[in-house]
Amino acid sequence: MAKEGTAITEETEHMIEKNGIKEQESVLSAVDSKEMRAVVLTGFGGLNKLRVTKKAMPEPQEGEVKIRVKACGLNFLDLMVRQGNIDNPPKTPLVPGFECAGIVEAMGENTKGFEIGDRVMAFVNYNAWAEVVCTPLDFVYKIPDDMTFPEAAAFSMNFVAAYMMLFEVANLREGMSVLVHSAGGGVGQAVAQLCSTVPSITVFGTASSFKHEAIKTSVTHLFDRNVDYVQEVKKISPEGVDIVLDCLCGENTGKGLGLLKPLGTYILYGSSNMVTGETKSFFSFAKSWWQVEKVNPIKLFEENKVIAGFSLLNLLFKQGRASAVKTVMQKLISLYDQKKIRPLVDSLWALEEVKEAMQRIHDRGNIGKLILDVEKSPTPLMANDSTETSEAGEEEEEQEGDSDNKERTPFIP
Amino acid sequence: MAKEGTAITEETEHMIEKNGIKEQESVLSAVDSKEMRAVVLTGFGGLNKLRVTKKAMPEPQEGEVKIRVKACGLNFLDLMVRQGNIDNPPKTPLVPGFECAGIVEAMGENTKGFEIGDRVMAFVNYNAWAEVVCTPLDFVYKIPDDMTFPEAAAFSMNFVAAYMMLFEVANLREGMSVLVHSAGGGVGQAVAQLCSTVPSITVFGTASSFKHEAIKTSVTHLFDRNVDYVQEVKKISPEGVDIVLDCLCGENTGKGLGLLKPLGTYILYGSSNMVTGETKSFFSFAKSWWQVEKVNPIKLFEENKVIAGFSLLNLLFKQGRASAVKTVMQKLISLYDQKKIRPLVDSLWALEEVKEAMQRIHDRGNIGKLILDVEKSPTPLMANDSTETSEAGEEEEEQEGDSDNKERTPFIP
């Protein structure tokens, strides 16, 4: 299962284009260049649509911050973008990526609150997977001194989404129960950690069985992702759960609503089930729209239930709620400083390894977040490896219960 | 408009059945009787289906409290029950009414926590409109010493519903905005008062114009119930509101969802638009089910919106959430003790005047809650009248802005 996560494919060895930088030294010497390296999606489709190439160095406009990127977050959503499997996809070619961490290198006019050299994390409306990013001031946040760049790139989107869903859309309080799918993923682990900050929360999670040993301390009840989770939850809690967080969509919406206790909240925050293969799936966005069962408000009235949708990207980039997100980020950084939460990094990948990284998240091989490490050379390095001991093509399927996995057990205070 | 609210109809004068008590003294002497007076709905339909008649005195079962009723709440829902315009209507004849206040007269076995003589308010699954009620312990709450019985009967359902919608289903916080329909009604006034306990809440309300003078201090922006409230709200707040509380249903669901800001919550808590005439309307319950526009979860995802339904009766009587309601009641009584909230009583009516009271709520003539005062003789008495100065048939249409209306201005601390 994890094979694709670490195997350098033949294709990758040739994906660095003629103008690409092949040596890490060259990368570092590019700081003063007029060009930068970036991952480019040449068209919607499979992994072969991804390239690392040089692009013109962006310069900050008024109100923007220019960031020398150290690490970028890779999300399931990036797969859907690659397939064009989103509403109103932008035009290609484009540079994917919505979040990064790095160092402030310059500021546009009328840009207060940051200084050159500040360590920051940022949301970007595409273009994050590059050596340099410019993004509006409102989407940039200083990071704590003891937070590494990969941790910061793993922190922003997953924790903000998890926090807003649990505490703003739903109303998580003492004694409640939460069901989260993909409990081993970035959002799943953020949800589990945030639940641990509230007394007596029961977390039900689904995840591939091979992840269970690694994440079992973060989740109260773990089910294999292929079992009938509705039956499993009901065996333990016949009256259901208070909050269902669903990133799968499709038939899981009806299942999730059915599992809710009275006054419970179902939140749809993704539709990863729409991605079934490497290329754009039969279940395209337009089709999924019609296949999701619609909900009658009177049924919600009779059953005392709540259904919500949550899209952090729309909130930030279409709906102008950056200030609400900033407030949430301040709360999250406070929780981080109190050591109550800590982002879980699955693995670090060079820009040139983006295909392998995407394949790993597609195969749900990750435990925690996949990070593109901009300064990393194209050799796989697992999160807790102190040296480059991993080898290309290394099999990881036997990891269950071994010490390497234990090292990756999420930090739960 | 308010004419029906105070006019004793010819029919009423004859509605007291042969066995009924005609003199107030007789009512009071009935305390030790084996019988009691009650309002009976003989079949679903118009006002002519209501009778006051004698029924066998109920005795408390195990876990039940027997209450000598002093005052009962009349809700719009009671009209829908009368018309049979609810899901799975019970069999007739039945005694309507879901809430009352009075004095504990006896207790069934294994019923701890109350003593004979305690002043209480209670929820009842029908049967509230009677001289004596028995209801499970879990639905009975002691009332503060300075809360009158009519206030208590006006308190329970409206304030619990308003509180749970604002603070548990939605997540009302400083600076938010709320739209409430029927702002002059019992729930509307409870919503307005509870909003005033949170800093900087903007309340948009719709109400008949003749109520505006009386309730204007409780609501930030008032609109006539016949204007296009969507346009009016958008003139003041182009980006919409955070919470929409809808008791109208039908096309208002789509309008309400459309008015929501990102992360906003629409709550459907009634469907009073389904009641259009005295008898069961063309828009029956089954029809309304299909006429309400269904909601696509993916649209909620894209727009970052929340849709919820809230039915306090289902929560209490079908879904076993009495303990959650008890917790809310404790918070509400604390707010009452701090003089931050106070139920607003529109008018008091004898049991024999239930038709006129129902007509008044049907015509939306009330400002605050209509109360059936069990010990009252059938002469109309307005809430703030100290003596029985009102006369049957008195016209009230000229009340706008007069001192009587000012006396009924809701208490906002």
Across the interface, whether the CB atoms of B269 and A301 are under 8 A apart is answered: yes
pLDDT at B28: 46
| CA A251-A252-A254 angle, 5° bins | 75
Q: Does A250 touch chain B (CB under 8 A)?
A: no
> ω before B93 within 30° of 0 (cis)?
yes
Across the interface, whether the CB atoms of B308 and A305 are under 8 A apart is answered: yes
- Is residue A139 predicted with pLDDT exceeding 70? yes
Residue B271 and residue B214: Cα distance in Å, rounded?
25
Q: Does B262 touch chain A (CB under 8 A)?
A: yes
Higher pLDDT, A356 or B271: A356
- Which is it for strands A50-56 and B35-41: parallel, antiparallel or unpaired? unpaired
**DSSP H or E stretch at residue A221:** strand A221-224
Q: Which of B164, B257, B283, B302 to mutate to test the interface with A (most CBs of A within 10 A)?
A: B302
Confidence of residue A276 (pLDDT cuts 50, 70, 90): low
Across the interface, whether the CB atoms of B309 and A298 are under 8 A apart is answered: yes
For the record, the structure tokens of B312 come out as 């306090």
Q: In B98-204, which ranges are continuous DSSP H helix?
A: 149-163, 186-195
Query: Would you tell me which residues 267-306 of chain A have a C-beta closer than 8 angstroms to some C-beta of chain B?
Result: 268-269, 271, 288-289, 292-306
- Residue A318's closest chain B neighbor by CA? B303
Closest Cα in chain B, distance from residue A247 (Å): 11
Query: For a pLDDT cut of 70, what percent of chain B falls above it?
Result: 79
Q: Out of A158-172, B18-32, B63-77, which region has the weakest mean confidence (pLDDT)?
A: B18-32
Q: Does A76 touch chain B (CB under 8 A)?
A: no
pLDDT at A284: 53
Q: How many CB atoms lie within 10 A of CB A400?
A: 13
Across the interface, whether the CB atoms of A302 and B314 are under 8 A apart is answered: yes
Q: Does B251 touch chain A (CB under 8 A)?
A: no
Give B-chain residues touching A310 at CB under 8 angstroms: 301, 304
- Which is it for strands A177-180 and A119-123: parallel, antiparallel or unpaired? unpaired
Q: Cα dihedral sign for A205, A208, A212, A218?
A: negative
Q: A303 — phi, psi (to 5°)? A: -95, 0
The string of DSSP letters for A248-315 reads: S-TTHHHHHHHHEEEEEEEEE---GGG--SSS--SS-HHHHHHHSPPB-HHHHHHHT-EEEE--HHII
Judged by DSSP in three states, B309 sits in strand
Q: Does B331 touch chain A (CB under 8 A)?
A: no
Confidence of residue A136 (pLDDT cuts 50, 70, 90): very high
Q: Are B298 and A294 in contact (CB under 8 A)?
A: no
> ω before A378 within 30° of 0 (cis)?
no
Q: Out of A107-121, A302-316, A346-360, B3-17, which region has the weakest mean confidence (pLDDT)?
A: B3-17
Across the interface, whether the CB atoms of B307 and A295 are under 8 A apart is answered: yes
Judged by DSSP in three states, B279 sits in coil
Tell me B9's DSSP state: P
- Of A192-201, A251-260, B208-217, B287-296, which has the strongest mean pLDDT? A192-201
Residue A99 and residue B13: Cα distance in Å, rounded?
75
For the record, the structure tokens of A339 come out as 């050591």
Give A-chain residues touching B172 at CB under 8 angstroms: none
pLDDT at A247: 87
Across the interface, whether the CB atoms of A294 and B298 are under 8 A apart is answered: no
- Residue A290's closest chain B neighbor by CA? B296
Query: Would you tell me which residues 3-62 of chain A have a C-beta closer than 8 angstroms to some C-beta of chain B?
Result: none
Closest Cα in chain A, distance from residue B170 (Å): 8
Closest Cα in chain A, distance from residue B295 (Å): 5
Name the residue type at position A236: I
| Mean pLDDT, residues A10-36 taken together | 50
- Residue A287's closest chain B neighbor by CA? B298
- Which is it for strands A177-180 and A202-207: parallel, antiparallel or unpaired? parallel
Across the interface, whether the CB atoms of B298 and A164 are under 8 A apart is answered: no
Give B-chain residues touching A168 at CB under 8 angstroms: 171, 263
Confidence of residue B274 (pLDDT cuts 50, 70, 90): low
pLDDT at B400: 33
pLDDT at B290: 59
**Residue linked to tokens 């409306």:** A125
Across the interface, whether the CB atoms of A262 and B319 are under 8 A apart is answered: yes
User: Looking at chain A, how many residues does it have?
Assistant: 413
Give B-chain residues touching A289 at CB under 8 angstroms: 296, 298
CA–CA distance from B135 to each of B56, B64, B68, B110 (Å)? 16, 5, 12, 13
Confidence of residue B44 (pLDDT cuts 50, 70, 90): very high
Across the interface, whether the CB atoms of A302 and B262 are under 8 A apart is answered: no
Q: Does B263 touch chain A (CB under 8 A)?
A: yes
Confidence of residue B154 (pLDDT cuts 50, 70, 90): very high
- Is residue B344 predicted with pLDDT exceeding 80? yes
Across the interface, whether the CB atoms of B309 and A319 are under 8 A apart is answered: no
Q: Out of A108-122, A257-271, A308-322, B17-31, which region has the weakest mean confidence (pLDDT)?
A: B17-31
- Is residue B187 predicted with pLDDT exceeding 80? yes
Q: Does B86 touch chain A (CB under 8 A)?
A: no
Across the interface, whether the CB atoms of A302 and B321 are under 8 A apart is answered: no
Please give the model's pTM, rounded to 2 decimal places. Answer: 0.84
Give A-chain residues touching B314 at CB under 8 angstroms: 262, 302-304
Give B-chain residues touching A307 at CB under 8 angstroms: 295, 297, 300, 306-308
| Mean pLDDT, residues B273-297 taken together | 63
pLDDT at A37: 96
Residue B160 and residue B154: Cα distance in Å, rounded?
11
- Is residue B211 predicted with pLDDT exceeding 80? yes
- Residue B261's closest chain A neighbor by CA? A319
What are the residues whose beta carbons fall under 8 Å from the beta carbon of B19, sequence distance 6 or more?
A: B53, B54
pLDDT at B249: 72
- Is residue B118 predicted with pLDDT exceeding 90? yes
Name the residue type at position B1: M
Q: Does A236 touch chain B (CB under 8 A)?
A: no
Closest Cα in chain B, distance from residue A84 (Å): 16
Residue A253 and residue A246: Cα distance in Å, rounded?
7
pLDDT at A290: 59
Confidence of residue A33 (pLDDT cuts 50, 70, 90): confident
Tell me B337's DSSP state: H
